[in-house]
Amino acid sequence: MGTSVDEQLDSGQAMSIRTKLLSWYEKNKRDLPWRRERDPYKIWVSEVMLQQTRVDTVIPYYERFMRRFPTLEDLASASEEEVIKAWEGLGYYSRARNLHAAVREVVASYGGKVPDDREAMRRLKGVGSYTVGAILSIAYNQRVPAVDGNVMRVLSRLFAIEGDITRTATRRRMEALAAELIPEDRPGDFNQAMMELGALICSSSSPECARCPLHRECRAYEQGRVKDFPVKRKGKAPVPVSVVFGRIVDEEGRILFEQRPKKGLLAGMWGLPTAEREGDESPQARLERYCAEKGIAIEPGPVLGRVEHVFSHRRWQGVVVSGRASAGPRSLPEGWRWVSEAELNSLALPKVYEKALSADQYPVQLELALKIEN
């Protein structure tokens, strides 16, 4: 077990870390659009988008989102479908739903002003300790830690922390340590500097210790054990699941879509009819049976292609089957709809369904995004 925070950190060491890190940050920080802001709403949006997503990927989405919803009130007054459409392609769609619900709560309960109180922020939907720390330190200049994956990696190496970073106790220990390090005068810059150091220098696979401004303070470097940190238990491999996607059209050329359940994988998103397969049942037979269970009669056709998509805990191994709606009168159950080609552009679709819709053009698709889109 490691030593306590008090034993690890003295005032001279803390001052050295602050001074060196902030000096490095001033010279090396990236020019990112949200860093030109002190608007808590815009900082909030950027921090939510950056969860589980690379900075380079986020920038165009952030800029487009801000053009569409330039103020918190604009986002609060939008429909969920508009918000999801603006988020389309970023994945992890629960982030967008939680953000949308939270800004509506800010309008309803706080007069449209993002709270500058730690406890009030934590009560908002989807807002955790990291997001609270980022907003309060950057927008409101409060001395609150913001500990994300990059910061945990830096702290674990800096102090050779043996605790598993997936454990709550280890995270709390790191938050306490970060709180001790934050200077009174520049808390937002310090938090961003820690994140930037983890992103640019203290990377997980190839840390550049010779370029690190803190290598003289780093215990892992001193011990020659940088690659041993952070300590993290291995997660379970995604479970393979065989599925069939239906690309079913009617006599007008419209495509059949279903809305997924409100909870679970791709919750509430629109997509092609999707059924899990077991045993030796053919993809066509499984799709026909699935639609029949919903009261929809179809005539399945040939296989158009295959789509593989990896979520954080599931690996969909999909077969895309063509089909036509059977002739005669028909009605659709709740949560199902026919969508014309023109309407497709306005429908927010998870990436896996974009791939499935193009399966006839690209017979074998492989998506290794390693993200859960719900």
Residues belonging to the active site: 47
Taking the CA atoms of residue 90, residue 96, residue 99 and residue 105 in that order, the dihedral angle to the nearest 10 degrees is 160
| Distances 360 to 245, 266, 348 between C-alpha atoms, Å | 12, 23, 21
Residue pair 307/318 in contact by the 8 Å Cβ criterion: yes
Q: Which two tokens stand for residue 243?
A: 């599925």
Helix, coil or strand: residue 306: strand
Residue pair 98/126 in contact by the 8 Å Cβ criterion: yes
Residue 6 class from Cβ within 10 Å (0-12 exposed, 13-18 middle, 19+ buried)? exposed
Q: Which two tokens stand for residue 315?
A: 């690996």
Q: What are phi and psi of 271, to 5 degrees?
A: -165, 175
Distance CA 342, CA 317 (A): 29
Distance CA 236, CA 339 (A): 38
Distance CA 57, CA 3 (A): 38
Q: What are phi and psi of 339, to 5 degrees?
A: -125, 125
Q: Which two tokens stand for residue 363?
A: 């017979």
Q: Which two tokens stand for residue 15?
A: 């001052």
Tell me, rounded to whole angstroms, the distance of Cα 70 from its chain centroid.
21
Distance CA 89, CA 173 (A): 35
Residue pair 41/100 in contact by the 8 Å Cβ criterion: no
